[in-house]
Amino acid sequence: LDGNGIILVADTVNHCIRQISDECEVTTLAGTPQHEGFADSDESTGLGALFSHPSTLIVDNTGAVIVADTYNHAIRHVDARLTAPKGYIPPSSHSSDLLVLISNPAYADVTFSVADHSQIPAHCNILCARSNYFREFFGAMEGRGAGGKTLVSLGETSAAAMLLILEYIYSDTVKNLTSTSREIQHEAMQLAFKFELPRLSAMLNAAGVLQ
């Protein structure tokens, strides 16, 4: 169904896509009935296209129809300009939104000092929400630095390993974990134990860090 209640049907044996209106009128949306093949349409109607046993289809959030063109071993896009299905919920951008904050001094109230005198800004509330270690660490501090900033020295911890830790804390995942150098993986594993991040430890273990 699209957002206006139009029913879309993959007419498999006739190699076309049908639409049924709310008045039960059946018309061809795309494809050439009883003509099998593979061709895109130059027409806005899509009637010049050719399919081969189309099967599953959906209406996406732009009103286009995505068709599994079975015997052509292809996924086809029909610019049908239908109404998007009602109740469509966009995918979550929660992780990507939080990842923008990593190494971004805007709104940061914590700075980690790591090897080579590098400094990595972070956010106390996020750290405390995700790690019992940080809850206890910041909770035990009687005062904060100037301007509400806290400088936390991590000695010889590498910037790469700490950024991996922060990526996990902020997004609950780590992209490209398996392509990260083994040295950084081992260092991140030690930090994961220190900061009480058991899920990250398990992820690193699954990546073969302890092997």
Q: What is the pLDDT of residues 54-80, one digit of tens each?
A: 999 999 888 899 999 999 999 999 988
H or E segment at 86?
Answer: none
Q: Residue 155: which region, alpha, beta or left (left: phi > 0; alpha: psi -120 to 50)?
A: left
- With beta carbons less than 8 A apart as the criterion, state whether 51 and 41 touch: no
| Residue 14: φ, ψ to 5° | -100, 0
pLDDT category, 203, cuts 50, 70, 90?
very high
pLDDT over 80 (residue 20): yes
Number of helical H runs and strand E runs in the chain: 6, 9
pLDDT category, 146, cuts 50, 70, 90?
very low
Which pair of structure tokens corresponds to residue 54? 């189309």
The per-residue pLDDT of the chain, averaged, comes to 89
Residue-wise pLDDT for 186-202, tens only, equals 999 999 999 999 999 99
- With beta carbons less than 8 A apart as the criterion, state whether 16 and 28 touch: yes
Q: How far apart are CA 165 and CA 162, in angstroms?
A: 5
Beta strand 54-59 pairing with 65-69? antiparallel
pLDDT at site 104: 86
Residue-wise pLDDT for 111-144, tens only, equals 999 998 899 999 999 999 999 999 999 988 765 5
β-bridge partners, 121: 111
